[in-house]
């Protein structure tokens, strides 16, 4: 398949071999402290052979323990994590020309896992209507968390990642700070759109100061909320423009506060959920932009790239079932990725089991039962 999708593209000072990326995907292979395991390395070794332009790791929590969102999630809260993270970098780099970034994140109130463990998660604001136990962040909590993000970015560079990606989507802490649904503070960190973006500003400025101007800083951004009373698209674009001016080099557009898992239904093929939002951002910023969610066929990926709506196409679930489906496309196969968007992979990792395609598991179990 010869088209613009498989031509190189430069982002900051790195060149991707093509315009595809693997979006951050939680794989539940880390140990109980967040350290990389042999199972983790195997996943990235397979991805590294798949002709992917950019591979982003599953979300790595910057603060221990209150930053953790899910069981067996990668951690990047300590220098002790660096040797294991280097193994992921090496697994990808030895496999081919793909680049790899680590996604750094903090759960905020969005961690049922911590509650099960008896912790009270941090919340941007007190939320009396919330059934989740939580603790409103103090000024010290906020300053400490900002430093945790900065230190995590430094560790990313030390581990050899080609870039670091901020997780500012899917209702996690950075989404919570910027959304009026979660942020009703009355101090410098909330109360109006300008103050709600102050956390993002301090994180980006701090990372830029710590790692310098040359190290690529990416962001997965929930460009708008999908709940009533949330951040609008226009407000999200304003935030993105501001953060680009402060040093963000590449933005992957996703959802903010809302139920991301329901955007594409089982059996859907080619419903690019965030295409219009990403295209609106692309028109408003001078950095590269990617869109994720719902793109399954080479024809749709090519059409979106050729249209100029985005610069990079991002995939997540398709790589769970078929880590090297892009190789098929590059060789002229026009069949879509084999992922059927059934979402049965979510309950598997939710139980702390290693990430696996739920449809493949179903087929295997039915075959076993038939014997």
SS3 of 296, please? Answer: coil
DSSP 5: G
* Number of domains, the chain: 1
Residues 167 and 220 sit within 8 Å (Cβ to Cβ): yes
Rounded to 5, what percent of the chain is helix, strand, coil?
40, 15, 45
Instruction: Name residues whose C-beta falls within 8 Å of residue 166's C-beta, 6 or more positions apart in sequence.
Output: 103, 104, 105, 149, 174, 203, 204, 207, 217, 218, 219, 220, 248
How many CA atoms does the CB half-sphere of 306 hold within 13 Å?
9
Domain that holds residue 227: 4-370
How many CA atoms does the CB half-sphere of 205 hold within 13 Å?
7
The more confident residue out of 284 and 343 is: 284
Given this model, what pLDDT does residue 264 score?
A: 67
* Predicted confidence (pLDDT) per residue in 316-356, tens digit: 999 999 999 999 999 999 999 999 888 889 899 988 899 99
Burial class (CB in 10 A: 0-12, 13-18, 19+), 169: buried
Q: Looking at the predicted structure, is the pLDDT value of residue 175 above 80?
A: yes
Q: Look over the chain and give the mean of its residue pLDDT values, rounded to a whole number.
A: 94
In CATH, what number is assigned to the domain containing residue 312? 3.20.20.70
Given this model, what pLDDT does residue 208 score?
A: 98
Given this model, what pLDDT does residue 260 score?
A: 56
Any idea which residue has 């949330």 for tokens?
230
Q: Looking at the predicted structure, is the pLDDT value of residue 262 above 60?
A: no
Read off the pLDDT of each residue in 192-216 and give the average, rounded to a whole number: 97
């Amino acid at each position: 398949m010869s088209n613009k999708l498989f031509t190189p593209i430069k982002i900051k000072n790195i060149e991707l071999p093509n315009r595809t990326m693997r979006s951050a995907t939680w794989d539940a292979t880390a140990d109980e402290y967040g350290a990389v395991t042999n199972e983790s390395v195997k996943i990235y070794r397979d991805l590294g052979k798949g002709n992917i332009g950019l591979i982003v790791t599953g979300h790595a929590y910057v603060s221990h323990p209150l930053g953790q969102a899910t069981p067996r999630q990668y951690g990047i809260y300590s220098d002790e994590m660096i040797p294991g993270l280097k193994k992921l970098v090496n697994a990808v780099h030895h496999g081919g020309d793909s680049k790899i970034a680590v996604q750094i994140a903090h759960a905020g109130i969005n961690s049922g896992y911590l509650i099960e463990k008896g912790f009270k998660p941090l919340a941007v604001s007190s939320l009396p209507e919330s059934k989740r136990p939580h603790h409103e962040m103090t000024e010290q909590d906020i300053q400490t968390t900002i430093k945790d993000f900065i230190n995590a970015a430094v560790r990313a560079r030390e581990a050899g990642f080609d870039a670091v990606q901020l997780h500012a989507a899917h209702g996690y802490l950075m989404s919570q700070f910027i959304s009026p649904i979660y942020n009703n503070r009355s101090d410098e960190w909330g109360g109006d759109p300008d103050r709600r973006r102050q956390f993002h500003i301090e994180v980006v400025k701090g990372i830029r100061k710590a790692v310098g101007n040359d190290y690529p800083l990416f962001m997965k951004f929930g460009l708008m909320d999908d709940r009533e009373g949330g951040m609008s698209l226009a407000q999200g674009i304003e935030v993105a423009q501001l953060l680009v001016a402060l040093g963000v080099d590449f933005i992957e557009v996703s959802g903010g506060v809302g139920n991301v898992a329901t955007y594409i239904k089982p059996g859907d093929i080619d419903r690019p959920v965030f295409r219009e939002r990403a295209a609106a951002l692309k028109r408003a910023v001078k950095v590269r932009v990617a869109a994720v969610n719902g793109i399954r066929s080479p024809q749709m990926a090519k059409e979106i790239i050729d249209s100029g709506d985005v610069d990079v196409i991002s995939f997540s679930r398709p790589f769970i079932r078929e880590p090297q489906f892009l190789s098929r496309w590059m060789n002229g196969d026009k069949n879509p990725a084999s992922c059927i968007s059934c979402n049965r992979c979510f309950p598997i990792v939710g139980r702390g089991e290693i990430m696996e395609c739920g449809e493949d598991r179903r087929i295997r179990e039915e075959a076993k039962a038939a014997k």
